[in-house]
Structure 1
């Protein structure tokens, strides 16, 4: 199968913007884990240093403008006009603040899945060792996941927490709108991890029926922002009082007279943190501008990724593979930005591919192949040829 010419030409053209990461000298199939930064990220990083040197402690007004740019970027990627965005260094710190606001003493039950990413999984596993009951619903089969979560809802449930795209399998969770309806009817908060959906799928909250949901995610993967660029999307009129609270949250209550209890603003302000390194937001702001200049919208990127995935599958099917390796069978519109090959030798294959100059990763028996916009059709063929050598050599 010939690759679609649109994404093939674009990938070749994009490579010149990623010189520092040498994307033309090595094959980075880590697009689902971390992507290369465009060269403009270096300019953003330097701008942060220059502003710090120029303005000293007065830099914060400029830094907050960069943060607002990042908030607006996430809202645009999610098609969101009704939420507010708290920024954090990682999803773990944002989840801690969020969990600290739940009435776990009165409603000690949390519902999640057995397919969650490490930050959420570890936090919930530890809570499950306390008086909190964490119910893990099997992530597969994904088609009935929402229905099975709804069956677990009861008056003891404090919240539901799950991914919109499963990080091990890449499968998109369907019927999230039904889950939001069910949780809203019962007054139960819903938090969706969108890390594998943001800027790789046209994953828009109004269309998904998730306008009342909390959304957590970040820019280390498909946004190419690098570390330190995570977010928690908060419904606008939310009035929670998290126990884990930073002094930035006081910015929303400066006009209020001090009371006998800690004051909180509405929306994102209740979840704000404290002093942070703004360098990551400078970098992300520069990358956002680059994506806009290149017209790399979620719709464009979705078509690009699907073209790459289809080409990869076609190349894989042209070869004979040993019995221990199973090729992907999912329809492309049911998965996120990466392909999963099943093999008990996944970890060993990752190391073998690294020796061939092909970078990818594995989770258990899942070998994950994640293209990125700058990966060309020629590189995908080289990667499949290398994979074949590794597993048959």
Structure 2
């Protein structure tokens, strides 16, 4: 679809089929130019670069993301080097003096899973996890738990990292929470720039976290969180960026926060990642590239992959092991559950020796797809030799 725009990365991986795109996408060529532009701007502006970044680059990236997600107010977007910073700031907003109740799933990414589990072990929170399997009943089971109320935080993924199963009705999940002060956060990392996403009806209620490392193709180091416009939370874990928009206020003895999404910002980080992500979105807008078209291309590739897999009929890897067959509500990778972790590791290692790059978690083997893949690239003959 867009292979000609990725020549720098592809030239280093000739003869290989990169199918670990859910881990990270190859960077398009425009990101190299952006990296150099960041260096040049830093040399030209020196200590004055921060004013330039926040006056020019940050608003431009906010506008792009707001457009992609149908968010009403770009200023409600804050940036950080990783989503874990935002997770910690959200946790730091939980009420003191009681054990906060947190509702989540058993399939969240390691960063949230590890952090929430540690807080539960320390006695800081009560953690309730809803199993995602069986997938067919997951949303209803989660909604039933959410509707019981008494939650201080509800956290779930738009697309689950260990299966690619996507939530069909985000609004129903959110609206099931009866507690008006509950923090509702959606991990959108595997949905952002993969699935067409309209948050216009949810923007006033949810925090949405994602970043540039995966489907947005800007590389690591630039993550964001959309903050509800009326949010007045004051994170205890905070940094000096959170004062932007409030610097003119008299501090006195009170910590002040920006009156927009920047109240959840942290402190100094490497803005080269922001330059790269901005370059990707500038390119998309210039060439009329839309998430819906990318998604349709990926779905076509996934169907072609499964057709070839059916013809090969490998006993080690076949459609019977596919975790979820409904590609209508599905992310951009296919997940297969093999016999055990050792078998999965063996298969992944063999595929790597044959130039097919994928990855695995426990007994789950994942094949990811990207805009730089074409139908001719999907050649699975090597699977016959597993």
The answer, yes or no, to whether TM exceeds 0.5 is: yes
Deviations 1:254-297 (A, max 9, x none): 22222332122333122111112111111111111222233221
What's the secondary structure of 2:3's corresponding residue? Answer: helix
TM-score (norm 2): 0.92
- SS of equivalent to 2:242: helix
Please, which moves more after superposition, 59-68 or 106-115? 59-68
What SS is found at the alignment partner of 2:154?
Answer: strand
The number of residues matched between the two structures is 375
1:254-265 matches, within 5 Å, as 254-265=247-258
The answer as to 2:175 corresponding to 1:169 is no
Partner of 1:331: 326
What's the offset of the Cα at 1:82? 4.1
Matched residue, 2:335: 340
Runs of 5+ consecutive residues of structure 1 not aligned to the other structure: 1-9
| 1:315 CA drift (Å) | 0.9
Structure 1 residue aligned with 2:45: 55
Counterparts of 1:106 and 1:299, CA distance in 2: 44
Matching residue within 31, 43, 46 for 2:36: 46
Q: Does 2:370 align with 1:380?
A: no
Match of 2:347 among 341, 346, 349: 349
Whole-angstrom CA distance in 2 between matches of 1:81 and 1:40: 28
Question: What is residue 264 of structure 2 aligned with on the other side?
Answer: 271
3-state secondary structure, aligned to 1:374: coil
Residue 192 of structure 1 contacts residue 213 of structure 1 at CA under 8 Å; is this kept in 2?
Answer: yes
| 2:72 partner SS | coil
Deviation at 1:61, TM superposition (A): 2.6
Q: Which moved more, 1:143-152 or 1:245-254?
A: 143-152
Per-residue Cα deviation, 1:85-113 (whole angstroms, up to 9, x for no partner): 11111111111111111115335211110
Instruction: Identify which of 9, 32, 55 aligns with 1:21.
Output: 9
- Counterpart CA distance in 1 for 2:108 and 2:126 is 17
Match of 1:130?
122
CA deviations on 1:87-145 (whole Å, 9 max, x unpaired) are 11111111111111111533521111000001111110101112211111111123333
Q: Judge conservation of contact 1:82–1:235 (CA < 8 Å) in 2.
A: no
Take 1:125 and 1:185, find their aligned partners in 2: how far apart are those partners?
23
Structure 2 distance, partners of 1:258, 1:206, is 34
* Contact 2:206-2:227 at 8 Å conserved across structures: yes
2:199 paired residue among 172, 185, 205? 205
Distance 1:77 1:351 in 2: 37
SS of the residue corresponding to residue 189 of structure 2 reads coil
Q: Does 1:34 align with 2:24?
A: yes
Task: Give the structure 1 partner of residue 217 of structure 2.
Answer: 224
Which of these residues, 175, 187, 197, is aligned with residue 193 of structure 1? 187
Q: Normalising to structure 1: TM-score of the pair?
A: 0.90
2:74 is equivalent to residue 86 of structure 1: no
